[in-house]
Amino acid sequence: MRGVISNIQRFSIHDGPGIRLTVFFQGCPLDCWWCHNPENIPYGSIEDCDLKTVYTPEQLMTEIRKELVFIDESGGGVTFSGGEPFMQGKFLAQVLSLCKAEEIHTTVDTSGYVNEDLLNSMIQNIDLFLYDIKIVDADLHKKYTGIKNEVIINNLQRIVEGSKKVIIRFPLIPEITDTEQNIRDVIALMKSLQLKDINILPYHRIAEKKYDKYGCFNRMKGIKQHTQEEVEKYELCFKNAGLNAKIGG
């Protein structure tokens, strides 16, 4: 069994507790307008990939083990991100169980768009979810990400019921997710699930060059970034609602 990994980032300090190693999985079923990593969306077959990006679970564990001293010292671990890590579900499940066998803290950074059974098969090996909630309204979600969000919200409920630790990640996208209605919906959703933690991820235009480089169509052209003050106002909205909000991961 092999997985396609677009990148491995060490000394990753914004994707969960402590010092982490973040593994970026190639391939994502969503097509968000604001995607920062458009090059990670397509999932090529293993045969097409450069050898350097294809790992067996054991090879990936070798890379993870190299970081153990930092992980242990800082209370860190491994974060699986992407792309959408669940898209390579069997590979992810295998790596998660190997991590758990070695008592390594695991985090999955996910869109939540995953088959329920697949999620259930490995949920016991995931210590923390960084769970994206982008838009609560189903139609708007479909418009801006290419898919409906029913599965995403159902899965979130299931994870919460399973008493798993969850941090909501909310991409703050001008004119798309930053509407009053959506903010209110996100707060309501979190309250109904008794979720406390939310990371606000402000949109930034650093990915624009990537769109040109990879020849992708950039639907965000002309959209301005929020200023720091604006972002802080949104943060305050969430805080005022009693949530533990934080800018950035």
Q: From 6-14, 37-45, 107-115, 119-127, give the range in contact with another protein by CB under 8 A.
A: 6-14
Examine residue 66 and tell whether it contacts another protein (CB under 8 A): yes
CA–CA dist 155, 112 (Å, integer): 7
* Residue in 30, 32, 67, 235 binding another protein, rule: CB under 8 A: 67
Examine residue 70 and tell whether it contacts another protein (CB under 8 A): yes
Count of residues in contact with another protein, rule CB under 8 A: 16
Nearer to another protein, 11 or 214 (CB): 11
Work out how close the CB of 70 gets to another protein at its nearest, in angstroms, rounded to a whole number. 5
Strands 77-81 and 54-55: unpaired
* Residue in 6, 53, 74, 225 binding another protein, rule: CB under 8 A: 74
* Residue in 1, 31, 69, 228 binding another protein, rule: CB under 8 A: 69
Question: Would the CA dihedral through 235, 148, 44, 215 be positive or negative?
Answer: negative
CA–CA dist 19, 184 (Å, integer): 33
Cβ count near 237 (within 10 Å): 16
CA–CA dist 70, 18 (Å, integer): 8
Examine residue 149 and tell whether it contacts another protein (CB under 8 A): no
* Residue in 2, 6, 18, 225 binding another protein, rule: CB under 8 A: 18
Work out how close the CB of 206 gets to another protein at its nearest, in angstroms, rounded to a whole number. 11
CA–CA dist 185, 193 (Å, integer): 12
Q: From 8-16, 36-44, 117-125, 178-186, give the range in contact with another protein by CB under 8 A.
A: 8-16
> Nearest to residue 91, comparing CAs of 68, 67, 70, 108?
108
Examine residue 14 and tell whether it contacts another protein (CB under 8 A): yes
Strands 244-247 and 165-172: unpaired
> Nearest to residue 171, comparing CAs of 233, 247, 222?
247
Residues in contact with another protein by the rule CB under 8 A: 9-14, 18-19, 66-67, 69-70, 72-74, 76
